[in-house]
């Protein structure tokens, strides 16, 4: 057998157990989404390249999987001139499509295209795969599933309040207890940035700030020094990163550290405080204000969130935020929107490592009928049809082979019981039932067998 690996790193096959576990998480998330008034939507895996590129920041754009144009497009290009171009120019020439990077930009496109048929505020959830050309590692794949809920067409902070309650309820249902939601507001960050007279963009500012969690605050402070930001401003940022600012003392503490009269900062602070006045009855989530939270995607403009599970060191297991006028990318201004996303792959790792999956998610059969001959198999199949009507998972071993081989198959499949129908059972119209755990056997009618398995 060849040892060659034909699979692509970061794009995993999923075993039956892995699929069952994912479906378990999806079912909980779907039920809660719909309870809060969200309903499903799906968009294509492939979008026009121009729909995606330029909307995720310079770092994000590098991770978009671009798809080559169809046909012999290359023959029409000037090869020498093409070789002189940078990668952005080359990619725009050879590609006109791209794999979906996230679910938010396609959602904005859908809303813009179908606005005449939509009632606003519009609430949708979407559970689909996305693709990113990232370096695979634990909890970070190239192909993965996002679970998103978004509302568009309202500025109200009651929407953020509901989304935080969704987070709280989902994680409570999954059994995750030590879950922290960190929040910030992009307006605060933009107000601080506007005071710097910097030679770098606000997008670059947010990207470097967002690296603090992994690389420490010095990576951000060094970035400011390298770009000749004043000592006064660097000390201000250093103080912001060192001091713990809670929601309760956000106004006095923040004002004492930031000596900037700025409309954006005040507006952002007001939104944070107002949101907290609207949140109640959270049972699982612990909420913290985190100045270093920036969320690297360019389209965020207001409240931003990120979720961590303190029991497992795996990084963010969810995130989202407010975005204004995202649909203007597609020629229509539908208004402000806000959304959250669940990091399914990392949530699955947390549930697995904390042993929080239900025990009945295995892929075992309830019952396997042993194949002892053609006549016996016909009767077994009649029994099987009746059992399946009652919702019992069962099957007939397809081949008439040695009993040892059939029992080995039953053990490997994790079958709870095996049923034997031989010459004696043909006459008695009963079934010999063997318990595969303790090895006990009994003769039983079909009716009693159905009752046994339904109540087992």
Give a yes or no: residue 8 inside a domain.
no
CATH code for position 407: 3.40.50.800
Give a yes or no: residue 257 inside a domain.
yes
Least Cα distance to 188 among 317, 300, 38 occurs for: 300
Which of these three, 296, 329, 353, is where a domain ends?
353
Average pLDDT over every residue of 163-188: 95
Assess whether pLDDT exceeds 60 at residue 130. yes
Q: What is the DSSP string of 202-228?
A: HHHHHHHHTTHHHH-THHHHHHHHHTT
Q: Across 352-393, where does the E strand assignment appear?
A: 367-369
pLDDT: which is higher, 262 or 86: 262
pLDDT: which is higher, 260 or 373: 373
Q: In this structure, what token pair is assigned to residue 104?
A: 């938010």
pLDDT: which is higher, 12 or 92: 12
Give a yes or no: residue 349 inside a domain.
yes
Q: Are residues 398 and 280 in the same domain?
A: no
- Mean pLDDT lowest for which of 55-69, 83-97, 213-227, 389-403? 83-97
Q: Are residues 36 and 173 in the same domain?
A: yes
Supply the pLDDT for residue 424: 94
Q: How many CB atoms lie within 10 A of CB 25?
A: 21
Do residues 427 and 411 make contact, with C-beta atoms less than 8 angstroms apart?
no
Give a yes or no: residue 340 inside a domain.
yes
Q: Are residues 311 and 267 in the same domain?
A: yes
Assess whether pLDDT exceeds 90 at residue 61. no
For residue 86, the SS3 value is coil
Q: Are residues 330 and 380 in the same domain?
A: no
Assess whether pLDDT exceeds 70 at residue 3. no
Give a yes or no: residue 7 inside a domain.
no
Predicted confidence band of residue 364 (pLDDT cuts 50, 70, 90): confident
Give a yes or no: residue 76 inside a domain.
no
Give a yes or no: residue 1 inside a domain.
no
- The sheet carrying 441-444 orders its strands as 394-396, 367-369, 417-420, 431-435, 441-444
CA distance 325 to 332: 8
Average pLDDT over every residue of 279-290: 88
Average pLDDT over every residue of 117-128: 96
Q: Are residues 414 and 308 in the same domain?
A: no
Q: Are residues 389 and 326 in the same domain?
A: no
CATH code for position 224: 3.30.930.10
Give a yes or no: residue 75 inside a domain.
no
Q: Are residues 289 and 416 in the same domain?
A: no
DSSP H or E stretch at residue 16: helix 16-35
Q: Are residues 129 and 237 in the same domain?
A: yes
Assess whether pLDDT exceeds 50 at residue 246. yes
Assess whether pLDDT exceeds 60 at residue 430. yes
Supply the pLDDT for residue 332: 86
CA distance 426 to 325: 73
Average pLDDT over every residue of 110-137: 94
140-169 tens-digit pLDDT: 899 999 999 999 999 999 999 999 999 999
Q: Are residues 162 and 232 in the same domain?
A: yes
Average pLDDT over every residue of 76-102: 80
Which of these three, 353, 374, 395, is where a domain ends?
353
| Domain range for 430 | 364-455
Supply the pLDDT for residue 249: 66
pLDDT: which is higher, 72 or 244: 72
Q: Are residues 248 and 370 in the same domain?
A: no
pLDDT: which is higher, 369 or 94: 369
Q: Are residues 415 and 275 in the same domain?
A: no
Which of these three, 353, 376, 392, is where a domain ends?
353
Assess whether pLDDT exceeds 50 at residue 218. yes
Most confident of 58-67, 68-77, 125-134: 125-134
Number of domains in the chain: 2
Assess whether pLDDT exceeds 80 at residue 131. yes
Supply the pLDDT for residue 378: 96
Alpha helices in 69-194 (DSSP H): 79-83, 87-94, 104-113, 158-174, 186-194
CA distance 361 to 28: 14
Q: Are residues 203 and 272 in the same domain?
A: yes
Average pLDDT over every residue of 274-294: 88
């Amino acid at each position: 057998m060849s040892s060659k690996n034909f699979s692509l790193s970061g794009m995993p096959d999923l075993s039956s157990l892995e699929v069952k576990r994912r479906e378990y998480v999806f079912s909980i998330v779907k039920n809660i989404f719909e309870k809060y008034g969200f309903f499903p939507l799906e968009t294509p895996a492939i979008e026009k390249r121009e729909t995606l590129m330029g909307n995720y920041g310079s770092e994000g754009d590098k991770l978009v999987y671009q798809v080559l144009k169809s046909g012999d497009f290359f023959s029409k290009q000037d090869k020498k001139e093409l070789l002189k171009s940078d990668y952005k120019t080359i990619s725009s020439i050879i590609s006109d499509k791209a794999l979906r990077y996230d679910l938010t930009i396609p959602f904005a496109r859908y809303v813009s295209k179908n606005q005449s048929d939509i009632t606003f505020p519009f609430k949708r959830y979407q559970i689909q795969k996305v693709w990113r050309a990232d370096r695979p590692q634990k909890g970070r794949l190239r192909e993965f599933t996002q679970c998103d809920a978004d509302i568009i067409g309202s500025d109200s902070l009651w929407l953020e309040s509901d989304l935080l309650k969704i987070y709280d309820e989902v994680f409570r249902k999954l059994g995750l207890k030590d879950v922290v939601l960190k929040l910030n507001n992009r307006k605060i960050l933009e107000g601080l940035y506007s005071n710097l007279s910097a030679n770098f963009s606000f997008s670059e500012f947010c990207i470097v700030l967002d690296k603090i969690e992994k690389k420490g605050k010095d990576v951000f402070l060094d970035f400011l020094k390298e770009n000749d930001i004043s000592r006064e401003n660097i000390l201000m940022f250093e103080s912001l990163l060192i001091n713990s600012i809670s929601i309760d003392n956000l106004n006095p503490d923040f004002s004492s550290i930031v000596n900037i009269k700025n409309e954006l900062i005040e507006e952002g602070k007001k939104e944070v405080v107002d949101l907290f006045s609207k949140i109640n009855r959270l049972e699982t989530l612990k909420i913290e204000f985190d100045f270093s939270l920036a969320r690297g995607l360019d389209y965020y403009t207001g409240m931003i969130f990120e979720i961590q599970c303190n029991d497992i060191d795996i990084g963010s297991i969810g995130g989202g935020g407010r975005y204004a006028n995202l649909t203007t990318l597609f020629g229509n201004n539908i208004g402000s929107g806000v959304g959250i996303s669940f990091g399914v792959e990392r949530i699955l790792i947390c549930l697995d490592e904390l042993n929080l999956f239900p025990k009945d998610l295995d892929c075992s059969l309830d019952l396997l009928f042993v194949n002892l001959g053609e006549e016996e198999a016909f009767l077994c199949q009649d029994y099987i049809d009746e059992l399946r009507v009652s919702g019992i998972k069962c099957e007939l071993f397809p081949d008439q082979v040695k009993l040892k081989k059939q029992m080995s198959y039953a053990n490997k499949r994790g079958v709870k019981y095996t049923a034997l129908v031989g010459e004696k059972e043909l006459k008695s119209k009963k079934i010999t039932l063997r318990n595969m755990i303790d090895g006990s056997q009994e003769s039983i009618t079909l009716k009693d067998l159905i009752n046994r398995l339904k109540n087992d």
